[in-house]
Amino acid sequence: MLLRPDISDDTIITCLRDSFGLCIAHVAFLPLGWVNNAMYRVTAYYRYERIVVDIAEYAEQIFGMHGSVEERQKGLGLANQFLPNNVVDMAHRSYYKLYPH
């Protein structure tokens, strides 16, 4: 069985945040891999950030100077993201699983 390296979860979280801008919810060492390798499962909370990026891209598609009529109409699909069981709803559910009230 592979042993956990002498590196704290906080160090891993800080490195991932500083290097990639990730908001880490959980780090778990996995006793897998080869000698001198370590594997971790890292749960990053990115759903809300991804939705904000999508909104910006849809806004450019709808209101941008270079979009065709078809592209603008397709961009109106943004509203579907707010329907039940779609990405905004999933983001809320994921958040409340990670940070229950």
Domain boundaries of the chain, sorted by first residue? 9-44, 47-98
This prediction has a pTM of 0.46
For 1-55, the pLDDT digits (tens) are 478 888 899 998 888 878 877 777 778 888 876 666 777 777 766 667 777 788 8
Which pLDDT score, from 0 to 100, does residue 34 have?
A: 67
d(CA 3, CA 38): 8
Give the start-end residues of each E strand in the chain: 24-30, 39-44
